[in-house]
Amino acid sequence: MTALRVPNRLGSHLSVRLRLWLALAALALATLVVGGASWATLRQTSTRLDRLHDQSLARVDDALTLSRKATAVAARAPFLLTIESPFRLQVEAGISKTLLADIRRHLDGQNALFDKLLTEMGGSIDELTTLSLHRIELTDRILRLNAVLAIEERRFAALAREKQKPLGQREQWLTMQRISAVLLGAGRSENLIGIGEFHRNYRALIVELEEDEKPLIQSQLLKLQEIASGRDGLFELRRAEIGRRIRAEAAMNRIRHSTEVINNHAAEITATAQANIITERERTISAIAFASGIIVIAVVLSILMAVMAAAFVSGHVTANLRAISDAMMRLAVGDRSIRLPRGEHAGDEIGKLFHAFRAFRANTLRLDRSNRQLAQKNALFENLYNDMSDGLAILSNDEKIIAHNNRLPKLLSLRATTVRTRTSLAQLLEAGNWTRWHRSEGFADLHHPSGTVVELRQSPLSTGGAVALLSDVSERRQLEEHLQSVRRIEGLGRIAGEVAHDFGNILSTVSTNLHLLENATPERAAHLHHTLANALDLGTSLTQRLLAFARRQRLDPEIMNLNELVTGIEDLIALALDDRISLHIFPASEQLAVRLDPGQMESTLLNLCLNASQAIEGEGNIWVRVVPSGSDMVSIEVQDDGRGMPAEVLARAMEPFYSARPDGTGTGLGLAMIFGFIRQSGGDIKIHSQHGHGTTVRLLIPLWQSTDCSEVMKPAGRILLIEDNMQDLAHARRLLGDAELIEAKSAEEAENLLRDASPFDYVLTDLHLGNDVAGWRMAGEALRHSPDTVIAVVSGHMPENMPEALAQSGRVVSVAKPLDHAALARLTELKSTE
C-alpha cells in the first residue's frame, strides 16, 4: 500500500469555513481599529446604521437560522428512507423532531403559516418513520425468503444435473429450479412491473407441474408455493415493501415542499433587509464622504490582511486538493494500492473529500471483485453451453442464428462449416434434409431419412428473439411406438376374445337347433327355424358392428341437405326418448350439403340421443345443433345435461366392447361403430364430458364442395398411382376411368418413375407401402421434381398432421380410404387454382 503524504499545518483541525470566518473577523477588527479615528465624525450616522443593521441582521439571522434548520430536516429525510436499522431510524427521527421543536420555539407562534407547515412536517416525519420501520421489517422477511430460495435453487439445479435420473424427472427438477430462479428474481426486483412479470412467469411454470403426481415433486412444489403465495408470500411482501417505499418517498417530498416554502420566506426576509440597508446606505453616503481618506487607509490595511488570510487558507486547501487529485489520478490508471491517511481533517470539507476518495476506492475494489466473479460465471456458463448433450441455438426475431453450442452441428448431422454458412435454423434443417412436424405451440419433431427423430423446443426471450433446444428422442419414440403396438395387440386380443365368445354362442345355437331339426315335428321345426334365423341375424349384426368399428363396412353415400336429415329424424328420436326428457334441435341458418350414408347417419344420431337419455336420471334435456366449422367442415353437436362421465370412463369410451352401464346391458360397440362410420366418411368425433355436468359429442363432417363429378371421373393429364394393395389399386382404376394412368406397386418403383419420367400432373400414393411409411417421402420427391404436381396421400389410418414442409406447399392433401369422387373433386379443384 502506498500512502500519500499531505501537509499537516498548525490548526489543521479547524475547518475551512472557520478559517474564513477568522480571516473575516481579523479584517473587521482591523477596519474598526483603523476607523476609530473617525468615530466622532461618524457617531451619529454610525449609530443610525448600527441600529438599522442590528434590526435587519437580526431578522436575517432569524431567517437564515430558520432556513438552515428546515434544510437540515429536509436533508435528513432521505437518510431516514435509506436507514436499515430500526434503532438508528428512531434516533435520526428523534433528531429531526428535535430540529422541528427548535424551529417552533424560535418562531414562538409568530407565524400561523409556519406553525401549520411545521405540524405537517412533523406528521410527514412520523409517517416516514413508520413506513420505514415497516419497510425494514418487510425487507428482512424478504431477505430470509431469498436465502431459502437460493438454497432450494442450488439444490434443484444439482438434482437436474444428475445424469443417472430419467430425463423426464430431470426436466421436472429443472422446472423447479426455474421456479426458484423466478422467485429469486421477484425478490430482487425494484418495481411493481418487474414483480408482475415474475409473477406471470411463476404461474406459467406452476401450471407445467400441476399434473405431476409424484410425491417428491409435489411436496417440493407445495413448499415453493407456500413461500411465494398468500398474504405472507414473497410476491405480497415485495408489493407491500415497494408500496411503503413509494408512500415514504411521498412523505419525503412533502417535507421538501414545506422546507422550500420556509426557505422562500427566509429569502424574502433577507431581500427586504438588504433593500433597507441599500436605502440607508444611499442616505448616508454624503455624510461619510469626508472620511474617505480614513476609509482608504482602512481599505489598504484590510487588503493587506485579506491577502495574508487568503495565502493562509489557499495554501492549506490547495495542498490537500493536490494530494486528493494525485490519488484519484493514480486510482484511475489502475493503482489500487494508493491510500490517504485517516484521522486528519475530520469534520471539515477536506475531510469529506478524503472520505469520498476512500468510498470511491472501496467501490472500485468491489467492482474489480465483481468483474472477477463475473468472468468465472461466464466461463462456467460457456462450459455448460458447449458441453451439454442437447443442441442449443439463440435466434433473432427473424429466426437468424445468433449463437449456437458445439453440439448443434453433431445433432443435426452437419459439418461446422455448414452451420457457419447457414444463417437461419430453417436453412440448417433444409441442408440436413430434416422434415419438421409441428406438435404444439413451441414444440416440433424433426425427422431425418435415417430414422433419427429430434425434438425441437423453441421459447421466446424477454429481450426479443428465442432460444431453440434440440434433443435426440429417437430411442424414446421407438419405445413409445413399441408401447402403442403392444396396446393395439392387447386391444385386438380383447376384441378377438369377445368376438370368439359371441360367435361361439351363435354356433352353439345353430348346432343345437340343427340337431333338434332332425326329429322335430313341423310345428317344432318352424320354431327351430325361427331360432336359427335369429342367431344368423345376431351374427350378421355383430359382423356389421365390427366392420363399422374397423371402418370397412360398405356404405352407400349420398349428397344430402344435413339440416333436412337432422330435422327429419326429430320425430323418431322423440318417440324413442322418455317423456320426461325434452329434445331441442337447432339446424344451421344456411343450407349445408354433405356426402354421407343417410341410413348410417340417422342411426348414428339415434344412438347418440339414446345414449344421452340413458345418462339422464329423471327430467332432462338433449340438444342437437348443426353448426358450420370453418370453410370446409360442419359440426353436429349432441349435448345432454345428464350425469356425465368420469375421466377414466371417458378415456375408454371409444374402446370396443367397453360399457359403463351399471345394469350391464350395453354391448360396448355403440360409440365404436359411430367412430368407425364417421372416420370412414372422412370426418372425426370429439367427446367432452365432466362428471356431474353432462356430455357433449361433436361430429365433424366434411362439406360437399362440388356438384359435378364428371371432370373428376376423367382428370386431364398424367397420373401416377402408387398402391401395393391389389383391391385398392383396382378400385382406383375404376374411379380414374380412361385417364393416362401409370402404376407403381412399391416405393422403389415410384422413385424411379418420378426421377426418370417426365413430370406428372397428379400423384396418388398410399401412406403405407409394405412395412414402410413411405407416402410422405413420395410426396416430397414428387414436389422436388415438379412443384406444380398435385399429390394425394391415401390411408385407412391417416395421422392427424402431415409434415410441415408438405403442408406449407399447398399441393398435398390427405385422403381417407376408400378413395371416392369427393377426394378426386378436391384434387381437381386444387389443380384448377394454379
HSE-CB for 434 with a 13 A CA cutoff: 27
**Has residue 501 got a pLDDT over 60?**
yes
CATH for 558-702, options being 3.40.190.170, 3.30.565.10, 1.10.1370.30, 3.40.50.1100: 3.30.565.10
The C-alpha cell of 270 is what? Answer: 433577507
Q: Please report, rounded to a whole number, the percentage of residues in the chain having pLDDT higher than 90.
A: 3
Evaluate if residue 488 carries a pLDDT over 60: no
Torsion of CA 511, 515, 517, 518, to 10 degrees: 150
Tell me the domain boundaries of the chain: 342-384, 388-472, 481-549, 558-702, 710-832
Residue 690 Rama label (left phi>0; alpha psi -120 to 50; beta): beta
Q: Is the model's pLDDT at 825 over the cut of 50? A: yes
Would you say how long the chain is, in residues?
834
pLDDT band at 550 (very low <50, low <70, confident <90, very high): very low
Measured CA to CA, the distance from residue 128 to residue 78 in angstroms comes to: 10
According to DSSP, the β-strands at 790-795 and 762-766 are parallel
DSSP codes joined into one string, 426-482: HHHHHHTT-EEEEEETTEEEEE-TTS-EEEEEEEE-TTSSEEEEEEE-HHHHHHHHH
More confident residue, 657 or 613: 613
In 347-418, at which residue ranges do the beta strands (DSSP E only) sit?
391-395, 401-404
Q: Calculate what percentage of the chain has a pLDDT beyond 70.
A: 72
| Cell digits of residue 223 | 413448499
What are the grid coordinates assigned to 706, written together?
362440388
Residue 828 has pLDDT above 50, yes or no: yes
From 247, 242, 131, 243, select the one nearest 187 (Cα to Cα).
242
Cα of 126 vs its chain's centroid, Å = 42
Helix, strand, coil percent content, the chain, rounded in steps of 5: 60, 15, 25
Q: 643-671 burial by CB neighbour count: b if 16+ within 10 A, else e?
A: bbbeeeebeebebbbbbeeeeeebbbbbb
Identify the H or E element spanning 815. strand 812-816
Q: pTM for this structure?
A: 0.31
The per-residue pLDDT for 711 is 41
Q: Which CATH topology does 481-549 take?
A: Helix Hairpins (1.10.287)
E strand segments, 756-827: 762-766, 790-795, 812-816
The whole-angstrom separation of Cα 135 and Cα 237 is 10
Is residue 740 pLDDT above 80, yes or no? yes
C-alpha distance from residue 713 to each of 12, 734, 826 (Å): 112, 9, 12
Residue type, 108: D
- In the predicted structure, residue 127 carries a pLDDT above the cut 60: yes
More confident residue, 747 or 346: 747
The answer to whether the beta carbons of residues 698 and 686 sit under 8 Å apart is: yes
Residue 75: pLDDT band with limits 50, 70, 90: low
* First-to-final CA distance of the chain: 84
Top CATH class of 388-472 equals alpha beta
Does residue 289 or residue 805 have the better pLDDT? 805
Least Cα distance to 633 among 555, 698, 551, 570 occurs for 698
Answer yes or no: is pLDDT of 485 > 60: no
- For residue 625, pLDDT beyond 90: yes
723-730, Cβ contacts within 8 angstroms, sequence gap of 24 or more: 723/764, 723/765, 723/766, 723/794, 724/766, 724/769, 724/770, 725/766, 728/766, 728/794, 728/817, 728/818, 728/819
Mean pLDDT of the chain: 75
Neighbours of 479 (CB within 10 A): 11
pLDDT tens, position by position, 264-301: 777 777 777 777 777 766 767 666 666 666 667 767 77
The tally of CA atoms less than 13 A away on the side-chain side of residue 768 is 11
CATH number of 710-832: 3.40.50.2300
pLDDT exceeds 80 at position 36: no
**HSE toward the beta carbon, residue 146, CA cutoff 13 A:** 14
Pairing of strands 695-702, 633-640: antiparallel
Residue 469 to residue 471: CA distance in whole angstroms: 7
- The answer to which of 88-97, 497-506, 636-645, 683-692 has the lowest mean pLDDT is 497-506
- Kindly state the cell numbers that stand for 745: 406397386
Residue 423 has pLDDT above 50, yes or no: yes
Query: Model confidence at 659, in pLDDT bands (50, 70, 90)?
Result: low
The Cα-based distances of 611 to 266, 597, 602, 607 in angstroms read: 91, 21, 14, 6
Q: How many degrees, rounded to 5, is the angle at CA 110 between CA 104 and CA 111?
A: 85
Contact 394, 465 (CB under 8 A): yes
d(CA 395, CA 424): 8
Q: pLDDT band at residue 9, thresholds of 50, 70 and 90?
A: very low
According to DSSP, the residues that pair with 444 across neighbouring strands are: 438, 456
Helix (H, G, I), strand (E, B) or coil at 701: strand
- pLDDT of res. 316: 64
Matching residue, cell 423453441: 458
Q: Tell me the β-bridge partners of 805.
A: none
Beta bridge partners of 621: 582
| pLDDT tens digits, 551-576 | 444 455 777 888 888 887 787 788 77
Q: With contact defined as beta carbons under 8 Å apart, do 559 and 822 qualify?
A: no
Q: Contact at 8 Å (CB) between 14 and 351?
A: no
Average pLDDT score over residue span 106-131? 71
Burial class of 723 by CB neighbour count within 10 A (0 to 12, 13 to 18, 19+): buried
Same-fold call for 558-702 versus 710-832: no
Degrees (nearest 5) of the Cα angle 28, 29, 35? 90
Q: Which three cell numbers stand for residue 41?
A: 465624525
Write out the three cell numbers for 147.
436465502
Which helix H or strand E contains 823, and what residues bound it?
A: helix 821-832
For residue 378, give the 3-state DSSP assignment. helix
Measured N-to-C along each axis, helices 775-785 and 747-756 cross at an angle, to the nearest 10 degrees, of 0
Does the pLDDT of residue 747 top 80, yes or no?
A: yes
Return the C-alpha cell found at 201.
Answer: 412467469
- 745 burial level (CB within 10 Å; 0-12, 13-18, 19+): middle
Q: Collect all residues with Cβ–Cβ distance below 8 Å to 392 and sequence separation of at least 6.
A: 385, 404, 405, 407, 408, 467, 468, 469, 470
Instruction: Name the β-bridge partners of 467.
Output: 394, 459
424-483 tens-digit pLDDT: 777 777 777 787 766 556 777 787 877 788 888 888 887 888 888 888 877 777 776 666
The mean-pLDDT minimum among 192-196, 548-552, 694-698 falls in 548-552
Per-residue pLDDT reduced to its tens digit, 311-320? 766 666 777 7
CB atoms inside a 10 Å sphere around CB 392? 19
